[in-house]
Amino acid sequence: PVSPAEMAGLGLDLGGLMKDDSGLKSLLEEEIKDDLDEIVKQGRISASDEASVTSQVTKPRLQNVISTMNLQTELDLKTIALKARNAEYNPKRFSAVVVRIRDPKTTALIFQSGKVVLTGNQNPTLAKTAAKKFVRIIRKVGFQEAKFSQFKVQNIQGTAAVPYKVRLESLHESHYDYSTFEPDIFAGLVYRMVKPKVVLTIFVSGKVVLTGGKTPEDIYQAFELITPVLKEFEKKENGMRK
C-alpha cells in the first residue's frame, strides 16, 4: 500500500549523500513519515467533515526542516553508539548511527564519513542550533576534530489552509501537467510547482501540506501562488460551480 507520505512526495534531495549511503532516503522517510502521515491523515479525515473547513486563510506553518552538515572528520560509529545517549546503530540495516536529542527535538543520522542529516526541527534556526549541539556531542564522545561546517537546509515542510472546500477533480483537469490525483489510492491532489520548486498536497477540505522548500520563503511563496488557483476551484455549499 502507498503511504500518504509516499504519495505526497517528500521532495528529498540530499545530493552526494544519496550516492554515498544507500537507503538514506528510505530511512529518512521513515523518520519523518509519521509526522507527515498524521498531517495528511487530518486532511483526509476532514475531507468529508463540513465543520473542518477553517474560517479564514491559514498561512503556512513550518512543521519540519531537513538539513545536512559535515563534521570534516572520519568517525567510529560503534564508539558513538556506545557513548552517546539515545543512540541506535544497526549496520546491517543502515550505514549510519541514529542519535536523538530532546531540546531542540531532533534526529540526526551520522555517517562514518562525518556527514550528518538532521530532521525534526520546525525552523532553520532551530535546525542550526541542533546541528551545533550534535557537534558538541560528537566531540564529547571522543572526536575532538569534529567541526561545524557546510550546514545547509535541504527540505522544509509546512501546512496551511484556505477557508473553503476545493474541487480537486476540476483542479486536476485544469492543471493536469502539474498535478496527480488518484482518489482511490490517496485523498489528496499532489501539485508539483516549478518555481519555487515545492510539492503541495491539497485536500478537498482546503488543507494544504507543502514539502520540498529550501527556505521558509519558498513555502510562503508557494502557498501565496496556489491560493488564487484554489479560489478558482472553490466548492460552493449549494453544489453550484463558481
Mean pLDDT, the chain, rounded, equals: 82
Structural domain spans, the chain: 4-235
Please tell me the distance from the alpha carbon of residue 191 to that of residue 176, in angstroms, as a whole number.
9
> Quick one: pLDDT band at residue 58, thresholds 50, 70, 90?
confident
Short-list 201, 190, 205, 200, CA closest to 221 = 200
Question: CB-based contacts of 36: which residues, under 8 Å, 6+ apart?
Answer: 4, 5, 8, 10, 63, 64, 157, 209, 211
What is the pLDDT at residue 33? 55
Give the mean model confidence (pLDDT) for residues 141-150.
96
For domain 4-235, the CATH class is alpha beta
pLDDT tens string 196-218: 999 999 999 999 999 999 999 99
Question: CB-based contacts of 58: which residues, under 8 Å, 6+ apart?
Answer: 160, 161, 162
Using CA atoms of 99, 1, 172, 228 in order, give the dihedral in degrees to the nearest 10: -30
Q: Tell me 95's DSSP state.
A: S
